[in-house]
Amino acid sequence: MAKIIYGIWDGTVLDNRNKNHFDIEELAEFSNFDEFNPGNPIKAFWGGYGFLVFEPGVHLLDAALQYMQRIAAASCGRCTPCRVGTRIIQSKLELLANNKGTPQMLDEIEVLAEHIHLTSQCGLGQTSTIALLGLLRHFRNEVFLEMREGIPQPHQPCYTYLTAPCIEACPAKVDVPKYIGHIRDGQTSHSLGVILQKYPMAATCGRVCVRFCEMACRRTLVDEAVGIKVLKRFVADHEQHVTNEWFSRDLIDQKKPQDLKIAVVGTGPAGISVAYHLLLKGYPVDMFEALPAPGGMAATGIPNYRLPKDVLHHEISIIQTLGGNIFYNRHMGVDFSLRDLMAQGYRAVFLGLGAAKGKMLGVPGEVQGLKGYEFGITLLLHVNAHYLNKEYPGDLDMNPTPPLDLGNRVVVIGGGNVAMDCVRSALRMGVEEVHLVYRRSRREMPADPEEIEAAEKEGVVFHFLTHPTKIIAEDGAVKALELIKMELGAPDESGRRSVRPVAGSEYVMDVDFVVPAIGQQVDHRSILPEDGVTFDKWGLIEIDKHTLMTTRKGIFAGGDCVTGPATLVQAMAHGYDAAQYMDDYLTHGRVRFHPEKRMSQLLSSLQAIERKELSIPIKPEYRVQVQELDPNVRKKIFEEVEKPISADDAYREATRCMRCYRVYAVITEQ
């Protein structure tokens, strides 16, 4: 456990020198700041709210210098205090660290640091000198002692990390302020380039992302979060013509030999992402897809009114442009096995199998094959089959069964995004009454709030704190659903409130079709016992979370088959990580240490890396309003609901970004 010797963080000053104990309770979040990587202790930590020293022998002037060097390099240059002031401080610190300065410089640095803190126009400048001010105001004597030694100190091992709350919230760690800044500057192609560094499906993500970044946006302290997702779609749509120009096999500088070929099983977001990054690294990549079209759950599970299939397929085409091969109608466990792939000479395999098997309710009367009963994920497959057939005409038939007759009254059970897609799709299929049953309150629903609101506007009837207890059937067909009212109990260990049934509150609802959408699971038939890949207690593929390698050497996995049903951006982030780890494995024989991932872990352990206040006043400017089709019109058709914003709207929205960058640094032993 790390022990703080001295320092200041967010106004809390600690000094445990000459004490028999360490006061760490006030800053317990730092208790795991012991090692940066195995065998390499963290000696000091610097950030936007102060600095802390964990080990003796830290050279404070050098630590401050290296921290300010990164700050100065990251300055956008739009305001004078940050652009000029940080460089002046850097030059003075260089003199002091090399025993060429005077004690008077410390006073000059303090005055300048305070000015930068109070007058800079973005988050980077406003927090850039807080650690330095804490050092000079509370531990100046330690700096004097270093200066009296009169020995220039060489740079200590130091790793600096530039991030922002929105970046840390994004599973893919996309540099959000950077791509928004390019939009503000009219450089939309540059903006798209920032996104494409992390994943190839920018237009897709700009339509269906659940916006973790916006949840962390500090603009909410003023008015509303910046429309990060809307801006991503704007850039991707505006620059869609350049992707095919940018991406070609000539883009790859160093092609790997053919004997380093890699197999990717599944063309969902995780598989597409890992193939994309491996191809850019020069590896030959073959992809295997069970269906006759690519995209995985993005193609078969997201309705066209949210994600037009031509948008998805255009972005997936980058894989073939880069030289990757996609083999369709190749179902692992049926048409080939993992052992077959290894026998064919693939040096590594990525399993992106998804979690496309529905979960049953577990109530009396529930029987698969019952007329009027179907899993939510299967219903969406039926819905999307039409568009996939349209995109891939000919002998392809995506329909797993004959077309569904949903009748006049449909009940969907669940509270996630799949449930929302099911109820909204049922309306578009002509159902007169669509009901959604969820056992908790609206507040506990895991679905995207925008999806819930859209479903309400379109006429879906919500039954909160309600749970099915029995499916009633006649002659092999659903006739009714028995339900019971629920009430919320005390929070459980996770903080989520438990639910319990209300005695005597049962009632029966006549229905034509019941759709359970309470979760999905991995189809274990793809993995054979002899493959050497095991599943955990939740039925997910077991991996080493630090390497994404399964229990079989050289076999990696990611996406929903590892996490359970998650989001598109989380799956793509797994693909990005897996490509790094597979490259390490094939190049070095092991997965190397990645300092940026360790820094992100350290920051996450701090829980909230931002104080809920602003350094300077910000004028309220409410976010851009996205135009949508009228609910009474759109609920009858599958046309895309949200319309693109204009270039003027994109510029105005981009100017709302407060550029909340922060620099963090660790001083280590080696």
Per residue in 416-438, pLDDT (tens digit) is 999 999 999 999 999 999 999 99
The pLDDT of residue 389? 55
Task: Based on the fold, state whether residues 19 and 139 are members of the same structural domain.
Answer: yes
Return d(Cα 296, Cα 309) in angstroms, integer. 12
Task: Based on the fold, state whether residues 344 and 361 are members of the same structural domain.
Answer: no
Return d(Cα 628, Cα 207) in angstroms, integer. 13
Return d(Cα 343, Cα 80) in angstroms, integer. 62
pLDDT at residue 30 above 80? yes
Three-state DSSP at 177 gives helix
| Among candidate residues 243, 519, 263, the one with its CA nearest the CA of residue 376 | 519
More confident residue, 387 or 502: 502
Round the average pLDDT of the chain to a whole number and report it: 91
What is the bridge-based pairing of β-strands 555-557 and 50-53?
Answer: unpaired
pLDDT at residue 658 above 80? yes
Task: Based on the fold, state whether residues 513 and 544 are members of the same structural domain.
Answer: no
Q: Are 540 and 563 in contact (CB under 8 A)?
A: yes
Phi, psi of 204 (to 5 degrees): -65, -50
What's the mean pLDDT in 440-449? 93
Q: Are 548 and 574 in contact (CB under 8 A)?
A: yes
The pLDDT of residue 240? 83
Q: What is the CATH number of the domain that holds 66?
A: 1.20.1440.230
Return d(Cα 566, Cα 296) in angstroms, integer. 13
> Within its chain, how far is the Cα of 188 from the centroid?
22
Of the pLDDT bands very low, low, confident and very high (cuts 50, 70, 90), residue 31 is confident
Per residue in 175-207, pLDDT (tens digit) is 999 999 999 999 999 999 999 999 999 999 999
Task: Based on the fold, state whether residues 438 and 309 are members of the same structural domain.
Answer: no
User: Which pairs with CB-CB distance under 8 Å and at least 24 residues apart come from 95-99?
Assistant: 96/61, 96/147, 97/59, 97/61, 97/62, 97/65, 97/152, 97/153, 98/152, 99/147, 99/150, 99/151, 99/152
More confident residue, 610 or 147: 147
The pLDDT of residue 20? 66
Per residue in 329-385, pLDDT (tens digit) is 999 999 999 999 999 999 999 999 999 899 999 999 999 889 999 999 999 988 887
Task: Based on the fold, state whether residues 326 and 295 are members of the same structural domain.
Answer: yes
Q: Give me the helices (H) in 165-259, please.
A: 165-169, 176-184, 188-196, 202-208, 212-216, 228-238, 243-246
Of the pLDDT bands very low, low, confident and very high (cuts 50, 70, 90), residue 21 is low
Q: Is residue 426 included in any domain, yes or no?
A: yes
Q: Is residue 619 included in any domain, yes or no?
A: no
For the chain, percent of residues with pLDDT exceeding 70: 94
% helix, strand, coil for the chain, step of 5: 40, 20, 40
pLDDT at residue 473 above 70? yes
Return d(Cα 198, Cα 236) in angstroms, integer. 14
Task: Based on the fold, state whether residues 21 and 34 are members of the same structural domain.
Answer: yes
CA-to-CA separations, 350 to 109, 339, 387, in angstroms, rounded: 52, 13, 28
Task: Based on the fold, state whether residues 415 and 536 are members of the same structural domain.
Answer: no
The pLDDT of residue 457? 96
| Among candidate residues 537, 536, 558, 535, the one with its CA nearest the CA of residue 546 | 558
Q: What is the CATH number of the domain that holds 551?
A: 3.50.50.60
| Among candidate residues 354, 407, 408, the one with its CA nearest the CA of residue 381 | 354
Q: If you search the block for the tokens 């703080």, which residue do you land on?
A: 4
Of the pLDDT bands very low, low, confident and very high (cuts 50, 70, 90), residue 151 is confident
Task: Based on the fold, state whether residues 98 and 137 are members of the same structural domain.
Answer: yes
What's the mean pLDDT in 473-493? 92
User: What residue ranges in 215-271 does DSSP mark as E strands?
Assistant: 262-265
| Among candidate residues 381, 253, 351, 269, the one with its CA nearest the CA of residue 316 | 269
pLDDT at residue 549 above 90? yes
Q: Are 66 and 158 in contact (CB under 8 A)?
A: yes
HSE-CB at 390 with a 13 A cutoff on CA atoms is 10
Return d(Cα 333, Cα 337) in angstroms, integer. 5
Number of domains in the chain: 3
What's the mean pLDDT in 627-654? 95
Secondary structure of 417-434 as H, E, C letters: HHHHHHHHHHHHCCCCEE
Burial 232-256 (b: 16+ CB within 10 A, else e): bbbbbbbbeeebeeebeeeebeeeb
Of the pLDDT bands very low, low, confident and very high (cuts 50, 70, 90), residue 498 is confident
Return d(Cα 284, Cα 263) in angstroms, integer. 9
Task: Based on the fold, state whether residues 482 and 553 are members of the same structural domain.
Answer: no
Torsion of CA 360, 363, 367, 368, to 10 degrees: -10
| Among candidate residues 565, 457, 551, 459, the one with its CA nearest the CA of residue 521 | 565
Q: Is residue 209 included in any domain, yes or no?
A: no
Per residue in 212-225, pLDDT (tens digit) is 999 999 999 999 99
Q: Is residue 388 included in any domain, yes or no?
A: yes
Q: How many CB atoms lie within 10 A of CB 161?
A: 18
DSSP for residue 662: E
Q: Are 124 and 111 in contact (CB under 8 A)?
A: no
Instruction: Check residue 128 and give left, alpha or beta (phi > 0: left; psi -120 to 50: alpha).
Output: alpha
Torsion of CA 476, 478, 479, 480, to 10 degrees: 140
Three-state DSSP at 12 gives strand
Task: Based on the fold, state whether residues 442 and 294 are members of the same structural domain.
Answer: no
Q: Is residue 114 included in any domain, yes or no?
A: yes
Q: Give me the helices (H) in 404-547, please.
A: 417-428, 449-458
Q: Are 299 and 240 in contact (CB under 8 A)?
A: no
The set of residues, in sequence order, having a beta carbon less than 8 Å from that of 90 and lying 6+ positions away, is 65, 68, 69, 71, 72
pLDDT at residue 59 above 90? yes
Least confident of 277-281, 489-493, 605-609: 605-609
What's the mean pLDDT in 403-410? 88
Of the pLDDT bands very low, low, confident and very high (cuts 50, 70, 90), residue 577 is very high
The set of residues, in sequence order, having a beta carbon less than 8 Å from that of 138 and lying 6+ positions away, is 8, 13
pLDDT at residue 665 above 90? yes
The pLDDT of residue 396? 43
Residue 119 structure tokens: 């007058």
Can you give the residue range of the structural domain that contains 53?
6-165
Q: Is residue 91 included in any domain, yes or no?
A: yes
Per residue in 102-135, pLDDT (tens digit) is 999 999 999 999 999 999 988 899 999 999 999 9
What's the mean pLDDT in 617-633? 91
Task: Based on the fold, state whether residues 364 and 467 are members of the same structural domain.
Answer: yes
Q: Tell me the residue type at 155.
A: H
Q: Is residue 597 included in any domain, yes or no?
A: no
* Boundary residue ending a domain (165, 182, 209): 165
* Boundary residue ending a domain (520, 544, 564): 520
pTM, to two decimals: 0.93
Return d(Cα 578, Cα 119) in angstroms, integer. 43
The pLDDT of residue 612? 65
* Boundary residue ending a domain (520, 545, 561): 520
| Among candidate residues 494, 424, 493, the one with its CA nearest the CA of residue 457 | 424
Per residue in 64-74, pLDDT (tens digit) is 999 999 999 99
Task: Based on the fold, state whether residues 279 and 380 are members of the same structural domain.
Answer: no
The pLDDT of residue 263? 98
| Among candidate residues 558, 553, 557, 562, the one with its CA nearest the CA of residue 590 | 553
Three-state DSSP at 300 gives helix
The pLDDT of residue 27? 72
CA-to-CA separations, 606 to 29, 424, 648, in angstroms, rounded: 5, 39, 38
The pLDDT of residue 413? 98
Sheet holding 513-516, edge to edge: 461-463, 433-437, 409-413, 513-516
Dihedral over Cα of 48, 50, 52, 58: its sign: positive
What's the mean pLDDT in 284-311? 93
Q: Is residue 257 included in any domain, yes or no?
A: yes
Angle at which helix 176-184 crosses helix 188-196, to 10 degrees, equals 170
Return d(Cα 207, Cα 306) in angstroms, integer. 7
> Within its chain, how far is the Cα of 299 from the centroid?
19
Per residue in 233-283, pLDDT (tens digit) is 999 999 987 766 777 777 777 889 989 999 999 999 999 999 999 999 999
More confident residue, 21 or 14: 14
